[in-house]
């Protein structure tokens, strides 16, 4: 049924697609397909859990042989922005295409966050430019609630960033949960993603990137100075 089918075969991907895969069936991991079997994605550099490619053994952390040269490459060490092959990105999971310009009805019908937005995507060349620029130049620090892998992909697709310093997170997964104390363990957050679904649907709709009024278009080469002006770096 089209309404719920966002699954996509690697051969059907188009450059600039925002893709995601489910991890442990609890949360989704996101990235931007840039063509030639490569995905640029953002992970927590301290706890990425995605892959550790060993050039000497050719073994990725998923335990599979990866024949792709430089898979998992981080051009800015410690930035968390990596370029990986599709297999290492999905880690034996399935691949899905994030939906843009979703109707409000579609948004509500999707029980889980992290799958769609009413916002409009920019043309693929702009999307790829942002993703590759951030891969080559770095990206703001990872934060599960306010700057995660979905935030990265949403920014690459739309160029939108919040100018509200108290409300930075744009990802629909994070917006499904209530703000929590910084010191809460990541596991607690993840558990809440799974349990907060029913009460959070209307909350998520209100916070959707395409509906929010606190987001502005920020050119990728001005992102650092924009965040500096907001005193967020
Ligand atoms: Zn790989």
Q: pLDDT tens digits for the chain (233 residues)?
A: 445 678 999 999 999 999 999 887 778 899 999 999 999 999 987 765 444 444 455 554 444 567 777 788 888 888 899 999 999 899 888 999 999 998 877 777 776 677 888 899 999 999 999 999 999 999 988 888 888 999 999 999 999 998 877 666 666 666 555 444 444 444 455 555 454 444 445 555 567 888 787 888 999 999 988 888 887 66
Distance 51 CA to ligand 1 centre (A): 8
Distance 36 CA to ligand 1 centre (A): 12
Give dist(CA 111, CA 204) in Å, integer.
Answer: 10
41 catalytic, yes or no?
yes
178 catalytic, yes or no?
no
Distance 86 CA to ligand 1 centre (A): 7
Give dist(CA 58, CA 60) in Å, integer.
Answer: 7
pLDDT of residue 167: 66
**What Å distances lie between residue 67 and 10, 31, 53, 207, 224, CA to CA?**
17, 20, 10, 41, 35
Evaluate whether 52 touches 72 at the Cβ level (below 8 Å): yes
- Residue at token pair 């966002």: 6
Domains in the chain: boundaries: 10-229
Give dist(CA 96, CA 107) in Å, integer.
Answer: 16
- Among 18, 30, 41, 135, the active-site one is 41
Give dist(CA 162, CA 137) in Å, integer.
Answer: 21
CATH topology of domain 10-229: endopeptidase fold (from Nostoc punctiforme) (3.90.1720)
């Amino acid at each position: 049924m089209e309404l719920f089918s966002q699954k996509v075969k690697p051969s059907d991907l188009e450059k600039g697609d925002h893709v995601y895969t489910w991890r442990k069936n609890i949360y989704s991991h996101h990235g931007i397909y840039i063509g030639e079997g490569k995905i640029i994605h953002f992970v927590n550099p301290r706890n990425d859990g995605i892959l550790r490619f060993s050039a000497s053994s050719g073994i990725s952390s998923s335990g599979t042989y990866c024949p792709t040269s430089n898979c998992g490459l981080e051009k800015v060490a410690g930035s968390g922005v990596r370029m990986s092959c599709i297999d290492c990105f999905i880690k034996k999971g399935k691949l899905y295409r994030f939906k843009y310009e979703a109707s409000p009805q579609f948004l509500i019908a999707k029980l889980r966050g992290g799958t769609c937005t009413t916002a409009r995507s920019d043309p693929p060349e702009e999307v790829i430019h942002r993703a590759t620029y951030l891969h080559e130049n770095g990206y703001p620090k990872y934060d599960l609630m306010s700057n995660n892998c979905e935030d990265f992909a949403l920014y690459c697709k739309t160029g939108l960033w919040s100018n509200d310093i108290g409300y930075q997170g744009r990802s629909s997964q994070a917006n499904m949960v209530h703000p929590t104390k910084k010191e809460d363990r990541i596991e607690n957050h993840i558990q809440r993603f799974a349990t907060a679904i029913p009460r959070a649907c209307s909350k998520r709709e209100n916070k959707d990137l395409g509906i929010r009024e606190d987001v502005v278009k920020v050119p990728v080469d001005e992102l650092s100075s924009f965040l500096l002006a907001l005193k967020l770096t």
